[in-house]
Amino acid sequence: MESKIVLQDIEKAYGKDAPVIENLNLEIEDGSFTVLLGPSGCGKSTTLRMIAGLEQETGGVLKIDGKDMKEVKPGDRGIAMVFQNYALYPTMTVKENIEFGLKNCKVPKAEREERIKEVSMAVGLEEYLNRKPSALSGGQRQRVALARAMVKKPEVFLMDEPLSNLDAKLRSQLRTDLIELHHKLGSTFVYVTHDQVEAMSMGTHIVLMHKGKIMQQGSPYKIYHDPDNVFTAQFIGTPPMNVLNLNDISHEYCPFAEAAYIGFRPEYAVLLDESAAIPETGLTIPGDIVTHEMLGTETLYKIDTKYGRVQVKIFDEATIVDGRVKIFVPNERLVYFDADEQRLRLGEDKWMQN
Partner 1 sequence: MDAKLNGKNLLEVPVSIRNTAKTNKKTFSMEGVGRKAIPYVMIAPAMIISAVFMIYPIIYMVYLSFFKWNMIGDMKYIGLENYLSLLTDSDFIKVLLNTCQFTVGTVAGFIIFGLLLALYLNKNTKINRFLQSVVFTPYVVSLVSIAFIWMWIMDDNLGLLNYVLNFFGIDSVKWLSDPKIAMWSLVLVNIWKGTGYYALIFLSALQSIPSYLYEAAELDRAGRITTFFKITLPMLSPTMFFLVLTGTIASFKVFETINIMTLGGPGNATNTLVYYIYEYGFKYYKIGYASAVGVVLMVIVGLLTLIYFGVLQKKVHYQ
Site for partner 1 in 129-168 (CB under 8 A): 132-134, 148, 152
Q: Which stretch binds partner 1 (CB under 8 A): 100-108, 205-213, 235-243, 340-348?
A: 100-108
Identify which range of 96-104, 161-169, 244-252, 337-345 contacts partner 1 by CB under 8 A. 96-104
Minimum distance between the CB of residue 86 and partner 1, rounded to whole angstroms?
A: 9
Q: Which of 25, 39, 61, 91 binds partner 1 (CB under 8 A)?
A: 91
- Reduced to 3 states (helix: H, G, I; strand: E, B; else coil), residue 24 is strand
Cβ 287 to partner 1 shortest distance, Å: 49
CA distance linking residue 26 with residue 67, whole number of Å:
15
- In the list 5, 10, 48, 81, the residue contacting partner 1 (rule: CB under 8 A) is 81
**First-to-final CA distance of the chain:** 39
Please identify which residue in 2, 9, 68, 76 interacts with partner 1, judged by CB under 8 A.
76
- Residue from 67, 70, 75, 255 that binds partner 1 (CB under 8 A)? 75
Q: Name the nearest CA neighbour of 227 among 194, 251, 262.
A: 262
Would you say 101 and 87 are in contact if contact means Cβ atoms under 8 Å apart? no
Shortest CB 187 distance to partner 1, Å: 15
Cα–Cα distance between 189 and 182 in angstroms, integer? 7
**Nearest to 307, CA basis, from 233, 251, 257:** 251
DSSP state at residue 297? S
Q: Is 41 in the site for partner 1 (CB under 8 A)?
A: no
Interface residue with partner 1 among 28, 35, 80, 190 (CB under 8 A) is 80
Q: Is residue 83 near partner 1 by the rule CB under 8 A?
A: yes
> Helix (H, G, I), strand (E, B), or coil: what is residue 9?
strand
Confirm if 152 and 115 have CB atoms less than 8 A apart: no
